Chains A and B, each alone.
Chain A
Amino acid sequence: MAEGAKKVSEASLYLPKPATVKKVIPMTEMEMFYQLSLDDGSELGHNPGQFVEVSLYGIGECPISISSSPTQKGIFELCVRKVGKVTEAIHRLKVGDKVGIRGPFGKGFPADKLKGKDLLFIGGGIGMVPLRSFINYSVHNRKDYGRIILLYGARTPKELFPFPEFEDWKAGKNNVELHLTVDRGDDKWKGNVGVITTLIPPLKIDVEKTYAIVCGPPVMYKFVLLALDGKNFKDDHIYLSLERRMKCGVGKCGHCQIHGYYCCQDGPVFHYPLIKGIKEAL
């Protein structure tokens, strides 16, 4: 067999690297936040928007978005919602516990290409987690980017992530324009009430200079795209990070296929023109 006889690497695609939990911070009722580091001392070496496969041996493996910016050295951060078998086990992890990490995988946000541009981040629910890696990246490289606008919505005030950066941005630090909304308020909530798309029409933005970076639950994309269209956003000014069942992370197992794309390799971040019109995508 001529082709197969070609010497191939014996390294397994499926062998995780050991990593240690360095810090555990409760976020909301459903989400916990973790700082981890690789045991070999190396950096994860990710781009904002990429994900890792987290292994708990004996339980399984699942894809988790990286929430930290690669500019943060020595550790990387994951924010995990308790929603399935593996994530429930992740929630039981304590400082010092070991996990397996494969990755980083996939295409992240085009951080270099968007230098000099205004960034409009639109995050719904746990979609905020992958966005945070790029927001913090752009904040750490603040002079490389124009305006940084973040629209972030959750179902209730309790479900908004208490990321420490939010306090900075509310206080006007780093010149991040933060707009929060919730679907349903409570007695203390004084901010906007309504789905995230209600934040889009009042925005004063230069659509020629602005790029939208969107991540949220599957149902959100269609409505956000409509609202952006209402602002005369061009399709090629939109990037979307999609969720799929990315089981292997290496473009083999087939679960995350969208048309000819594998979400785990060609995504999870897609330039909107690439997937526009693909029925299965959005």
Chain B
Amino acid sequence: MKKGVIAKKNFGAWVESLKKEGEVFGPKKRTEQFYYFDKVGDVAELAMDYTSTILPPKKFFVPSKDEVILEFNRKSGEVKAPKPEPAKEIILLGVHACDMQGLLRLDICWREGNPDSTYLARRAKSTMIGVTCNPDENCFCAKVGSNNFREGFDIFLSDLGQGYLAEAFTSKGEKLLALARLEEASMLDEELAYKAKAKCAEAKGAEFLPKVAELPLLCMDGEELAFWKEDVGARCLACGTCTNVCPTCYCFDVQDEVEMDLTKGKRVRSWDSCQLEGFTLVASGEKFMHDQPIRQKHRFYRKFRYLTTKYGGSAFCVGCGRCGRQCTAGISIPETANKLYLGVRAMK
């Protein structure tokens, strides 16, 4: 494993050298409180000490809208699927542990059963460079066990103040780290790096009462609790923001788009949301998830029960806090989890 310290004064030069290896995307500041992942131009624009981005890095692998899955010609009858592989390596710089765990969950969903070649080709042609986090009051990654600073990363950077301790975990990572001016890490650097990583576990963050492992069981026992209907289900405005910003939500809709000549066209997919009223609507008019309490429960259960039991183990909520941070109605996963936990306890 290649390891060393990149001084911050040399960091910009390293990022510049990465641009020759692929398309580099990293966190930038949009307004006072909002950050977003974008193509890195001027290295000075990078905001490596960000808290959370509006959208997670899933947007690079599952585009939010109008991703072309077929191209067709209605006259000639020609139909083809675009080549799945991206032209250039996707280098994501400054990914937090929670978001990396989110992508690892998506990897499972897109790979299991029928592998989705487009998603997997993009992931195969990506390099993940992590960075330690500055958690806020909405974060709870440690509560759901996603403060993992190694799994999935090619390189992980721990902020030491004057520089980053850089660790490469894959051959891809080692190759890129070889481009940096590396200084040998002292034991003090190692300890500072550990401290930077521990911020996630030490963060005050949102209170989260249940243990993550007991959540599938709490879900089983708590299906009928009144708060689904009277509280979160009644407050939810059904806007779908929570699923858009979630690192592990990937449901999509498919539409055909035809050019003005009515001949050439594309079949495109775009993010969909289980929180929208028409999500389960079929042509006969039946809505299988017919009200907001059912849809709210569905989202929560998908994170902690359905996919957890289906794919064996990990929660499909990674504790990034985005849905709570951005919910207009102020609904968050920790709040819902706590209400479920207390509700089930009160039943017994």
Contacts and interface: CB of A to CB of B under 8 A. Distances in A.
Interface of A: 1-6, 8-16, 18, 57-62, 83-84, 87, 98, 100, 217-218, 243-245, 247-248, 250-260, 265, 279-280
B17 interface: no
B344 interface: no
B70 A14 contact: yes
Given A58-B258, A217-B286, A248-B254, 6 more contacts: A8-B121, A243-B284, A250-B116, A251-B112, A260-B305, A279-B223
Contacts of A16: 79
A3 B111 contact: yes
Interface stretch (B36-44, B135-143, B273-281): B273-281
Interface string B97-123: 000000000010111111111101101
B280 A4 contact: no
A252 B294 contact: no
A1 B309 contact: no
A4 B124 contact: yes
Given A4-B124, A255-B279, A257-B302, A13 B262 contact: no
B309 A254 contact: no
B115 A245 contact: no
A257 B289 CA distance: 10
Nearest to A18: B77
Contacts of B288: 218, 244-245, 258, 280
Contact of A245 (B124, B267, B269, B282): B282
Counting chain B CB atoms within 10 Å of each CB, which of A9, A245, A265 scores highest? A245
A1 B80 contact: no
Interface stretch (B18-26, B194-202, B245-253, B330-338): B245-253
B240 to A, nearest CB: 13
B126 interface: yes
A257 B177 CA distance: 43
A277 B254 CA distance: 32
A218 B253 CA distance: 23
B272 A10 contact: no
A57 B256 contact: yes
Contacts of A4: 107, 111, 120, 123-124, 126
Contact of B152 (A1, A12, A280): A1
Judged by DSSP, the binding face of B is mixed
B128 interface: yes
A251 B115 CA distance: 10
A280 B289 contact: yes
Nearest to A262: B113
A255 B283 contact: no
Q: In the A-B complex, list the 5 residue pairs whose CB atoms are closest, starting with the nearest.
A: A254-B251, A84-B283, A12-B81, A4-B123, A250-B114
Contact of A5 (B124, B223, B253, B255): B124
Contacts of B83: 10
A58 B114 contact: no
B170 interface: yes
B118 A257 contact: no
B111 A83 contact: no
B124 A13 contact: no
A252 B116 contact: yes
Contact of A14 (B267, B281, B306): B267
A254 B282 contact: no
B306 A257 contact: yes
Given A254-B251, A254-B274, A14 B81 contact: yes
Given A60-B256, A254-B274, A260-B309, A3 B265 contact: no
